[in-house]
Amino acid sequence: MIQQTVTINRNAGLYAQPVNKLVQNASRFNADIFLTYKGRKVNVKSVLGVLSLAIPKRAEIILEASGDDEIEALKELIQTLEMLE
């Protein structure tokens, strides 16, 4: 298992369109991938789960991945979040 803290820099935080892109990218991997915000942990492969966190701008989240492709998955999702800024 690996994890990394990421700061969300999008002006609107994470809303439907960027969350959808994040979930699509996460779903390509076999690893179990979770996002934690304010003590709540959700599966990144669930649009409703991620949206339920209502993540605002400048929020710090923790991405966690475990599985055969965990390194690639975490790297890809961090890049996705950076591209959405």
User: Phi/psi at 40 (nearest 5 deg)?
Assistant: -100, 130
DSSP label at residue 52:
T
Please give the domain boundaries of the chain with CATH numbers for all domains: 2-83 (3.30.1340.10)
User: What is the Cα–Cα distance from 85 to 72, expressed in whole angstroms?
Assistant: 21
pLDDT in tens, 32-49: 999 999 999 999 999 999
- Asked if pLDDT for residue 85 goes beyond 70, the answer is no
**Of the candidates 64, 76, 75, the residue with the CA atom closest to the CA atom of residue 2:** 64
Looking at residue 20, what is its pLDDT?
94
Count Cβ atoms below 10 Å from residue 70 Cβ, excluding itself: 19
